Amino acid sequence: MQIADWTRESFVVLEKTTKQQFRFGMPGPTLSETEWRHCLDVLAALNPSPDYIVASGSLPLGVPADFYARVARLGRKCGARVIVDTPGEALRAAVHEGVYLVKPNLRELSDLADHDLKEEAQQEAAVMDLVHRENCQAVVLSLGAAGVLLGSASGCERFRAPTVPIVSKVGAGDSTVAGLVLSLARGRSLHEAVQFGIAAGAAAVMTPGTELCRREDTERLYERLIGAETAE
């Protein structure tokens, strides 16, 4: 859909001497109430209804903090599984509304828990608190190089990330979510979907600039993860 303001511009700088990457995200546009309500109307009118709805990224100016919570409400009405990857109050509101899955990083989960989560036991307790106290069927906690912590009704499970050459970290989180949702849509278990998401995220950091994960890299890394699990 079109909006009155320009969409935001983001760019990435690679400093060749140090190999450090700097990412610049410019302020986004301000959406009017008419515009953000139209987004919800379009979503509600989808026919056939989607199996999954992904609500991802920080909210633009002018959009209420409970926007993703409203998306979750629409998802529940149409029978879609809603997956949320966002920070701050938007995440808190979505969690309170109830969603299928959330993918916070450690800082975002600490904000939800209102205290630091330095120990593994603290992380696991916070994840399971969201599953039991709130209405989240699954929590996928991103831990960077330390991998992923999955919390669900079955309990907690940790996944290691594969070691890969890091070229650019742009889009790693988005690729993780994309791989996870694709795998779920293919009928895979949550366990398998998280592994495929990890593979997609790892594949994304292997590509330069803003390029996302490549299919062949993702599938190869996924097979490596499956093989390592079998060997154990």
Strand, helix or coil for residue 144:
helix
**Whether residue 85 lies in the annotated active site:** no
Strands 136-142 and 10-15: what pairing?
Answer: unpaired
- Return the H-helix or E-strand segment holding 155: strand 155-159
For residue 165, what are its two tokens? 């050459």
Q: Which of 104, 94, 147, 146 is nearest to 127 (CA)?
A: 104
Instruction: Please give the distance of CA 64 from its chain centroid, rounded to a whole number.
Output: 20
Q: Which residue has the tokens 């093989």?
A: 227
For residue 84, what are its two tokens? 């949320």
Query: From the candidates 51, 85, 174, 217, which is the catalytic residue?
Result: 174
Q: Bridge partners of 136?
A: 99
Count CB neighbours of 145 within 10 A. Answer: 8
DSSP H stretches of helix in the chain: 33-44, 67-78, 88-97, 106-113, 120-132, 172-185, 190-204, 215-231
Burial classification of residue 97, based on how many CB atoms lie within 10 Å of its CB (0-12 exposed, 13-18 middle, 19 or more buried):
buried
For residue 141, what are its two tokens? 């906690």
Q: Supply the residues annotated as catalytic.
A: 174
